[in-house]
Amino acid sequence: MREPGILARFDAGFERFRMQVDLQLPGNGVTALFGHSGCGKTTLLRCIAGLQACSGRLSVNGDVWQDHNVSLPVHKRPLAYVFQETSLFPHLSVKGNLDFGYRRTPATQRRIHPQQVIDWLRLSRLLDRMPERLSGGERQRVAIARALLTSPRLLLMDEPLSALDQASKRDILPYLETLRDTLDIPIVYVSHSAAEVARLADHIVMMDQGRVVAQGGLQETLARPDQPFALEEDAAVIVPAVIRERDLQWHLCRAEFEGGSLWLRDDHQPEPGTRVRLQILARDVSIALAANQDQSIQNLLPARVMDMSAEQRPGMTTVSLQAGETSFLARITSRSAHQLGLGPGMEVCLQIKSVAIIE
């Protein structure tokens, strides 16, 4: 039977660094590799690509690329790799660059065609331009398109937006969302940016010092109080929701999720029916034993305490809670946790001070 998804078990190292991972990743959608600088994200991508000597096993949607007696060389692995600054051929137009990727692929293996990538990445107006006349964001769109025209079975992206300014990042993110929702191949995406991960990823692998410290679906994994990034200042959960109504008088809109709804500022003016991802920082969530109506916070939700971190930062406790099917994290002082007598299974009320729509 073909094993679905990516199974990757690697042992690789340098003089002062060793990476040992055992991963099971989904066969489509975006998996984010997340972790501090130097934790081994690029080394892991290079092992997958066959660029880094390592022992172990790798299979991608049933095809074995490496095990103890085979290791496909890099040019035989049907993958595309997009870097921070992928270089285009300077002497070829955008169209020439795209044709290059397409023509390199034998006709019988072509599954992605030029018109498709031109539509997905909106390149039609750029086809005759030379690379030197493209902005950084446009260049990256062309580089991604060229990579896709090799009809890869796997797309590796190593900080593809990190060389771009904020405005170009904002412009290109919707294109990456289109690819996530359109392509039926897995995308492994390295990023330092929690906001990019929150917006794009379906699955997350958190790494630290060459080891995997947590992995799983984005929402469940971010909501675990024992995952190492839950203790960081900007720890947050992601909640998929749908905009249900707008209150024009008060500039608010109501987003409904599995387990309740929240009022948000109407800055983005999303139409009712729009699907959004909400980001809720653990430090913006507090806990009460009962809903207290005499206060300014609009968003009060009944919830159940699921788990609590041991105190890893002096005086602070991270609590995971569930409202309906949706998980939240709250960062409260350990004294409050003690005074409230919090423990797994308790029914409480969440007070959410601030919610952001991930753009």
Ligand X SMILES: Nc1ncnc2c1ncn2[C@@H]1O[C@H](COP(=O)(O)OP(=O)(O)OP(=O)(O)O)[C@@H](O)[C@H]1O
Q: Give the C-alpha separation, 228 to 238, whole Å.
A: 16
- Of the candidate spans 22-30, 41-49, 130-138, 246-254, the one that interacts with ligand X by CB under 6 A turns out to be 41-49
Binder among 29, 32, 34, 41 for ligand X (CB under 6 A): 41
Among the listed residues 2, 37, 73, 166, the single contact to ligand X using CB under 6 A: 37
Nearer to ligand X, 33 or 281 (CB): 33
Distance CA 221, CA 175 (A): 25
d(CA 319, CA 342): 9
Is residue 162 near ligand X by the rule CB under 6 A?
Answer: no
What angle is formed at CA 319 by the lines to CA 314 and CA 323, rounded to 5 degrees?
165
Q: Between 39 and 356, name the residue whose CB sits nearer to ligand X.
A: 39
**Position 296 contacts ligand X (CB under 6 A):** no
- Is 38 a residue that touches ligand X (CB under 6 A)? yes
Of 84 and 286, CB closest to ligand X: 84
- Of 36-44, 247-255, 290-298, 309-317, the window that binds ligand X (rule: CB under 6 A) is 36-44
Q: Which is nearer to ligand X, 207 or 321 (CB)?
A: 207
| # residues contacting ligand X (CB under 6 A) | 10
By the rule CB under 6 A, 160 interacts with ligand X: no
Local structure of residue 303 (DSSP, 8 states): E
Q: Could you tell me if 350 and 330 are in contact, meaning their C-beta atoms sit under 8 angstroms apart?
A: yes
93 binds ligand X (CB under 6 A): no
Is 42 a binder of ligand X (CB under 6 A)? Answer: yes
Q: Can residue 82 be called a binding residue for ligand X (CB under 6 A)?
A: no
Residue 40 vs 160, nearer CB to ligand X:
40
In the complex, least distance from residue 276 CB atom to ligand X, rounded to whole angstroms: 29
Residues 309, 324: Cα–Cα separation, whole Å: 21
224 binds ligand X (CB under 6 A): no
Instruction: Please select the residue that binds ligand X; options are 31, 43, 66, 140, rule is CB under 6 A.
Output: 43
CA distances from 335 to 144, 332, 341 (A): 50, 8, 10
Comparing CA positions, the residue from 297, 189, 195 lying closest to residue 236 is 195
Are 319 and 308 in contact by the 8 Å Cβ rule? The answer is yes
Q: Residue 41 CB, nearest distance to ligand X (Å)? A: 4
Phi-psi region for residue 212, left (φ > 0), alpha (ψ -120 to 50) or beta? beta
Binding mask 15-34 for ligand X (x = CB under 6 A): --x-----------------
Give 266's contacts (C-beta < 8 A, 6+ positions apart): 246, 247, 248, 251, 252, 253
φ, ψ for residue 119 (rounded to 5)?
-75, -50
According to the binding rule CB under 6 A, does residue 69 interact with ligand X?
no
Q: What is the DSSP letter of 5?
A: S
- The residue from 8, 23, 30, 39 that contacts ligand X (CB under 6 A) is 39
250 binds ligand X (CB under 6 A): no
Does the protein bind ligand X through residue 209 (CB under 6 A)? Answer: no
Among 147, 279, 204, which Cα is nearest to 29's?
204
* Site residues (vs ligand X, CB under 6 A): 14, 17, 35, 37-43
